[in-house]
Structure 1
């Protein structure tokens, strides 16, 4: 890993200078979605195409993530509230310009399914903030494609 980031807490999700928030409803229930997010970390590449490798670290208190394209993250889990929320902070990365990065997945029951809300909260250099805002449409598509793929995976597993 190239750089150590400044630590921030879960409150950064609401105070970050750049907050990208996306939501999508899926058929899978919150318990199944939470299980895929928090308990099957190694399974992320099966449904989130941007993730090349994911593995839990520090007895489940952290994660190591590698994205397609070579970006790497060492993360600390900030919240793992069963069936409600999963959040983590990036502690080290090789991505340029980033100073703080926290992601939060909120799960809300929606009928028999789940409303999945993902907040990508970040700060960094002016160039990083500009690039992140410009990338919003692509990040949104990546999120939507990922939760749709996750839903297919979870509903297929349920019907098996």
Structure 2
């Protein structure tokens, strides 16, 4: 069943009933990480193993994402500040119990050329959904660390010698 979610904005990241925050440092620059997040949407499945397909939509103001297992998201970009923040809101999904969902990727320079990547998943939903999100924290954290590590290696392998 397809569900239309509440159209929250970026401030939801600070007020959501469920907020999962993960961070990891990478060697890649904020510019390179931002390009991979915001400009190479179709490349997400190559580094984020939970994502089976990703496509820009609506002239770049949205995304269509499919996860392994069949969950689908139609998203609207709510923030795109080059080299700093990339965030999107889920507008439509087939996931049960969710009422509102925003993901924010915040990039901060870390050392001479590296980046501190912070991923925040902000959500609201039924009591059962909120419980599942909280219980899933460890698995989402592992998925994030693995994905950002793969992204860093991918970016590093595409750098000019």
Normalising to structure 2: TM-score of the pair?
0.98
How far, CA to CA, are the matches of 2:103 and 2:57 in structure 1? 17
Give the deviation of 1:159 after TM superposition: 4.5
How far, CA to CA, are the matches of 1:75 and 1:3 in structure 2? 12
Which ranges of structure 1 fall in alignment gaps of 5 or more residues? none
Tell me the SS of whatever aligns to 1:119: strand
How far, CA to CA, are the matches of 1:37 and 1:125 in structure 2? 29
Give the count of matched residue pairs.
Answer: 160
Which ranges of structure 2 fall in alignment gaps of 5 or more residues? none
Partner of residue 141, structure 1? 142
Partner of residue 123, structure 1? 124
Partner of residue 80, structure 2? 80
Runs of 4+ in 1 over 3 A off after TM superposition: none
Tell me the SS of whatever aligns to 1:109: strand
Counterparts of 1:58-97 in structure 2, within 5 Å, are 58-97=58-97
Tell me the SS of whatever aligns to 1:42: helix
Normalising to structure 1: TM-score of the pair?
0.99
Deviations 1:46-104 (A, max 9, x none): 00000000000000000000000000000000001000000000000000000000000
How far, CA to CA, are the matches of 2:66 and 2:123 in structure 1? 18
